[in-house]
Amino acid sequence: MSSTITESVSATTTGNLAITTPFVQPPDCSNQWTTTKTSHRSLVSISGSEVYRDFISKVSVSAPSSSCYPSGWDRVAEYSRLNFSPGVCPEGWTYYSMAHTYTEGPTSAYCCNRWSGFNYTRVNGMACAAWRPKTEALSNPEYAKSDQVLMIHTPWTVTWDASDTATLTPKLPTLASPMIVPTWTTGQTIPDGVYDYKPPRLESMPDPTKDSLFMFLVVGCPVIFFVLVCSCVFCCVRSCRKKRRQRKVVIVAATPAAPTSPPK
């Protein structure tokens, strides 16, 4: 399939190329790689738990020649050369993170090559990445310490408005707003409601009255404190009364008895 490319840009402009049919890369583009070092995050198992760890390793990075890009791409500002609007992914590539996040505005997606199982993932930023046998990815396989090496290529970004779909081949889906489709390939049907944005549910706060510790602190402690105070007051009152009785007995015992008859 030949691609239709609209060169609506001048030299070193910030405008984007429009690609209305899939661009077909020459076959040798899949063999143009270079080796470099980069950091990446991998999921590893430590003490029975899976955690992400950062690694620095040699990777194979796509380094395609200019013939691997649509005509006119090099006349676009470097930071937006791989942004196409309206655009469709190259032939045989997969759409990732297809999203429509605003009531008005375009739908966007990231394109990754499908031939080697690339996925749109986080590798020192977002990139298309895949693990492949080192003999297949590196010109000098001894550079790799394992049987596989990480291969990376830059994703292409395509955007389109609902009004553009009639001019695009293949016809891209019109997404409801807001929604994000993780992956999409030509001809795939997007189930209704599956990828619609769902706001996070606010979890209800636990009822403290159903917590036995809470009830003990709120009800039990005051009751116990009240009982202790009453007991102390009762003991103090009782002790004071007992001491008064004892003092009264001592005073009475020390008082001389009155004579029974007058002295003669």
78, 93 in Cβ contact below 8 A? no
Q: Which two tokens stand for residue 228?
A: 């202790």
Tell me what the mean pLDDT of segment 150-172 comes to.
Answer: 92
Give the integer Cα–Cα distance in Å for 151 and 141: 13
Give the integer Cα–Cα distance in Å for 27 and 114: 14
Reported as a single tens digit per residue, the pLDDT across 33-89 is 888 877 666 677 777 777 877 777 778 889 999 999 999 998 898 888 999 999 999
Look at strands 156-160 and 119-122 and give their pairing. unpaired
Reported as a single tens digit per residue, the pLDDT across 132-142 is 776 555 554 44
Reported as a single tens digit per residue, the pLDDT across 86-100 is 999 999 999 999 998
Tally the residues of the chain. 264
Q: Which amino acid is present at 260?
A: T
Query: How far is residue 71 CA from its own chain's centroid?
Result: 37
Look at strands 119-122 and 49-62 and give their pairing. unpaired
